[in-house]
Amino acid sequence: MTQEITTRREYIGFMVTSYVILIAAGVVGLRFDPPASLALRWVIVLLLAAIAFLQLRMPKSGSPAWQKHAYLGVHGGLVAALMFLQPGWTMYPVLFMTPITWAVLSLPLRQAVYWIAAYTVATAASFAVGINLGEGLIGMFLYGVLYAFLGAFAGALARADGARRESQALLAELQQAHEQLQEYAMRVEELAVVEERNRLAREMHDTLGHRLTVASVQLEAAQRLCPTDSERAAHMVGTVREQVREALGELRSTVATLRSPIEADLHLRSALRRLIDHFEKATGLTVNRVLPEEMPPLPDTYRLALFRAAQEALSNIQKHAGASQVWLVLTTGDEAVTLLVSDDGRGVSRTNGQAGFGLQGLDERAGQLGGELHLEPRPGGGTQLSFRLPLPREHGDA
């Protein structure tokens, strides 16, 4: 498994570290352990410059395998040339750290181990040729352990970074799945409400339609009986009147149910989400919403009052605010439920003549339920509306 350096920050950090190591090795090798001749000094400078240039030409992660191995071979060959030209306990063996790290990150583990072994052998050979065989064996052990540790450390970092990226990708997928589940749940709830409306429509047809059909037949019979048996006809008309009165009562009840907004039948959180979605489509503004996942059971009057408060606030923002940002926050506690709607527009208050019947109606709703309504300037510009209702005692005690 390979792990590429994908982010710009990671790439810059790797390159800066590589050049710091190269500069340190060059300074130590040329200044504190100077070559025997000027010509040898220039050869070493050219080799260092070639390594610096080569580090700028690292193959990309998607490059063919032969290019990666060629890069590692040329890089290792230049470092080995430095060690053989100036043998001994110099800084030049640390220049293998850059290709070792790159090999672990860019190649399969088995191939990276082969290159680490090759660099270890090259380091030991330089000590054996430049000094003696004993120093070569010591160099093999010391630098072999150093290179192996560096490779293991680079591999651990690569695995940790890969796990982090996999976790981030999984988190993004989970968030997307959560949003889809929320959307599906809202659709299911709306479909349930629509299905209930259809049931009511069928109920009205079956009951009211039946009563009106019977009344129509009886009226036709009474009309025929009027010239010959007026008393019986009057009795039939009275019966029809009672049936029509009952039918009218059923009609009023059903129509009252059907005329209530669909939001009145939905959970408050779903109703507010639906309202916000309609507002965003109508205005092109994005509402930064914070809605609690769990809410205490609220009476219908509370749900309707909170929904109307959000509806009025968003309507005023659309008409008057000229805002670019909107926030809607619903919070619940042990004592109260609070709706806060704010914007960064030109600002609206209850004293500048722009508060109309809608806000007065909200104030009355809040007063009837023991709550309070505040409309005031928002810190930083704009307006914020706060609609707070104390929870009923049975809910607060629960």
Model pLDDT, residue 182 = 78
Task: Average the pLDDT over 378-386 and give the result.
Answer: 86
Q: Residue 313's pLDDT band (boundaries 50, 70, 90)?
A: confident
Model pLDDT, residue 320 = 78
More confident: 386 or 5: 386
Model pLDDT, residue 352 = 47
49-62 pLDDT, tens per residue?
A: 888 888 888 887 67
Model pLDDT, residue 339 = 92
CB 227 within 8 A of CB 221: no
How far CA 88 is from CA of 39, 47, 127, 298, in Å, comes to 19, 17, 6, 83
Neighbours of 306 (CB within 10 A): 24
- Indicate the residue type of 137: L
Q: Read off the DSSP letter of residue 264.
A: G
Model pLDDT, residue 265 = 47
Task: Average the pLDDT over 237-246 and give the result.
Answer: 77
Task: Average the pLDDT over 63-77 and give the result.
Answer: 85
Task: Average the pLDDT over 114-135 and give the result.
Answer: 83
- The yes-or-no verdict on residue 279 having pLDDT over 60 is yes
Give the whole-angstrom CA distance, residue 222 versus residue 236. Answer: 6
More confident: 314 or 160: 314
- The yes-or-no verdict on residue 221 having pLDDT over 80 is no
What percent of the chain is helix, strand and coil (3-state, nearest 5)? 70, 10, 20
Block residue for tokens 């009275």: 238
Model pLDDT, residue 108 = 81
Q: Residue 256's pLDDT band (boundaries 50, 70, 90)?
A: low
Model pLDDT, residue 329 = 93
Percent of the chain past pLDDT 70, that is, above it, reads 82
Task: Average the pLDDT over 24-53 and give the result.
Answer: 80
What integer best gives the mean pLDDT of the chain?
Answer: 78
The enclosing H or E element of 193 equals helix 133-225
- Indicate the residue type of 92: Y
Give the whole-angstrom CA distance, residue 375 versus residue 371. Answer: 14
Pair of tokens at residue 58: 């690292």
Task: Average the pLDDT over 63-71 and give the result.
Answer: 84
Phi, psi of 258 (to 5 degrees): -70, -30
Please name which of 276, 363, 373, 292 lies closest in space to residue 326, comparing C-alpha atoms. Answer: 276
Block residue for tokens 């490779």: 151
**Spans of all domains in the chain:** 8-173, 186-263, 266-397
Model pLDDT, residue 327 = 92
- The yes-or-no verdict on residue 87 having pLDDT over 70 is yes
Name beta bridge partners: 385: 341, 375
Please tell us whether the domain made up of 186-263 is placed in CATH 3.50.50.60: no
More confident: 112 or 29: 112
- The yes-or-no verdict on residue 382 having pLDDT over 50 is yes
Block residue for tokens 């007065």: 360
Contacts of 33 (CB under 8 A, 6+ apart): 86, 88, 90
Burial of 139 (0-12, 13-18, 19+ CB in 10 A): buried
Pair of tokens at residue 220: 């036709």
Give the whole-angstrom CA distance, residue 388 versus residue 371. Answer: 5
Please name which of 68, 95, 302, 291 lies closest in space to residue 182, comparing C-alpha atoms. Answer: 291
339-378 pLDDT, tens per residue?
A: 999 988 877 655 544 456 677 878 888 888 889 998 888 8
Please tell us whether the domain made up of 266-397 is placed in CATH 3.40.50.700: no
Task: Average the pLDDT over 330-346 and give the result.
Answer: 87
Block residue for tokens 């959560």: 178
Model pLDDT, residue 396 = 44
More confident: 97 or 329: 329
- Indicate the residue type of 27: V
Model pLDDT, residue 297 = 80
Give the whole-angstrom CA distance, residue 286 versus residue 343. Answer: 11
Model pLDDT, residue 210 = 53
149-200 pLDDT, tens per residue?
A: 777 777 777 777 777 778 888 888 888 888 888 788 777 777 767 776 666 6
Give the whole-angstrom CA distance, residue 211 versus residue 244. Answer: 7
Q: Read off the DSSP letter of residue 265.
A: G
- The yes-or-no verdict on residue 385 having pLDDT over 70 is yes
Please name which of 306, 366, 361 lies closest in space to residue 332, comparing C-alpha atoms. Answer: 306
- Indicate the residue type of 114: Y
How far CA 171 is from CA of 7, 184, 288, in Å, comes to 19, 20, 21
Sheet strands (E) in 29-83: none
Supply the pTM of this predicted model.
Answer: 0.41
